[in-house]
Structure 1
């Protein structure tokens, strides 16, 4: 069986002018167009490909990797529309279609939306939907404060980003908790900061407490090793300078440097940190 909107492990059945036909060994075949055909191959060789339907609803295989497959959740950007719905960029030549009936709110070109993907039973096409209330909600919270979680960066807000936590809950990542590059659609590790009485969840990209300091200290040592033992930031460097160079808040940076100084590993000046010994 060849599954649309999924990766399939198939084998090369035959070569044609249009590309390779791949088989599942059960009599089902799908075309891998010439632009995806490897330079070297032999009949019978296995291949892992993604299968979707083209503009004429024919199954087609690709070696490209889409941003979402059946059953997954992703943040995708709207790139076009027609009377019947909106098209999202999912990393393949044919955009992912989201019918109007599947839109939680009308989709606008250029904006990002959290969607899941399913295969329409009637047409056999991959279809998106942003109606996710049964999948993503904060009715019954399954995470705890300080827990490490997976987040999907979903929507830009005035004070930060709305994120999806573990593909189950909505949360907020505020700008003052961001000390590294964050982009819409990214998946990242984060930590639960707070769960409010109304089930709103705040997350951070850094751990709180001593664990966070130890992790930051390890990162500083790595940066020192890569910079010949000297970092050009110190006690009197601005928070922006520290964040730009290290990806940390100045508060965490100072605590981590203090921890390393207490171990006799570094010395700190107004505008630099220098490694003076290997870690004890």
Structure 2
């Protein structure tokens, strides 16, 4: 397998469009646009080999961020629902991450401008794909999180999505996990999220929460309920005995959080409950 790797090749001859290179008796073309510094016939140079648009092996002196042997961070430059996600690896051709390597739900696919950590793989059909790294493959950039991180707010990038939870990594290389109970919505792959470190484990990884602490969360949750009520002309078929799954589906919060926020609103005289419904009091000021 030659594609996706660096190779040392001899410059055999120059052509009007570039150079012909030689490796083990086989010729490869180096287009003038792929030359990064002056070279001479007879010189041995290092080039990266990839497939062009016609699936021909071609060489470039540009240095990619990833290879079939090295992981790296690359930027998402295009998202095609019918094809997958294209990333810029640092050469004159964008590389595809196929849907089979992306989250099941398209809403969790990375967006243009997001970064993902991956490596290259050559298919049997003469194509180079980018493959997302699994959490256990971040050894090259992983650092042990200090205990002093506990309780601190951190920003981290999503590296793996899942129903049970979300794997993330900070800019410093600290690996973290967000349990499903510690997020209101599942963040997308490649997204940068900000949350609070709730635990630093003995293995140097940390647990993170995207839900504000109770004293702040209750205010935010109350605003969510009020906004929902106002959008329904002041009435909703939810109250403090509604099913937890229904509450989480609609309000993206636990039943306990919902009850706390609802209790606060009732104590403040903004809402009242009747026959399994919650109603907004007519004199409630939406700007309060």
- 1:24-173 correspondence runs (5 A): 55=52, 89-90=85-86, 94-96=93-95, 110=101, 114-115=116-117, 132-140=138-146, 143-145=149-151, 147-156=152-161, 159-166=164-171, 168-173=173-178
* 1:12-41 Cα shifts (integer Å, max 9, x gaps): xxxxxxxxxxxxxxxxxx9xxxxxxxxxxx
Q: Give 1:73 deviation, angstroms.
A: 6.4
Gaps of at least 5 residues in structure 1 are 1-29, 31-52, 60-70, 77-87, 99-108, 118-126
Residues 272 and 188 (structure 1), Cα distance of their counterparts in 2 relative to 1, 3 Å cut: farther
Map residues 219-234 of structure 1 onto 2, 5 A cutoff: 219-234=224-239
Q: Distance in 1 between matches of 2:275 and 2:156?
A: 37
1:191-221 deviation per Cα after TM superposition (whole angstroms, max 9, x unaligned) = 2222234433111220122111111112222
Residue 166 of structure 2: SS of its match in structure 1?
strand
In the TM superposition, what are the counterparts of 1:197-236 in structure 2 within 5 Å? 197-236=202-241
With the length of structure 1 as denominator, give the TM-score of the two structures: 0.53
- Cα distance in 1 for partners of 2:75, 2:175 equals 13
Contact persistence 1:180–1:248 (CA under 8 A)? no
CA deviations over 1:54-96 (Å, ceiling 9, x no partner): 936789xxxxxxxxxxx856799xxxxxxxxxxx933579543
| Secondary structure of the structure 2 residue equivalent to 1:90 | strand
Cα pair distance change 1:161/1:129, threshold 3 Å: closer
Q: 1:278 aligns with which of 270, 277, 285?
A: 285
For residues 194 and 154 of structure 1, what CA distance do their matches in structure 2 show?
A: 19
Does the C-alpha gap of structure 1 residues 269 and 206 become closer, same or farther in structure 2, counting only changes over 3 Å?
Answer: farther
TM-score (norm 2): 0.52
**Contact residue 150 and residue 165 of structure 1 kept, 8 A:** yes
Q: 8 Å contact 1:75–1:153 — kept in the other structure?
A: no
Q: Structure 2: which 5+ runs fail to align?
A: 1-32, 34-49, 53-57, 62-71, 78-83, 104-114, 120-129
Aligned residues: 190
Retained in 2: the 8 A contact 1:138–1:200? Answer: yes
| Separation in 1, partners of 2:74, 2:255 | 35
Larger radius of gyration: 2
- 1:240 shift after superposition: 0.6
Please give the secondary structure, in 2, of the residue aligned with 1:135.
Answer: coil
Distance 1:264 1:156, change over 3 A: same
In 2, Cα distance between equivalents of 1:151 and 1:170: 9
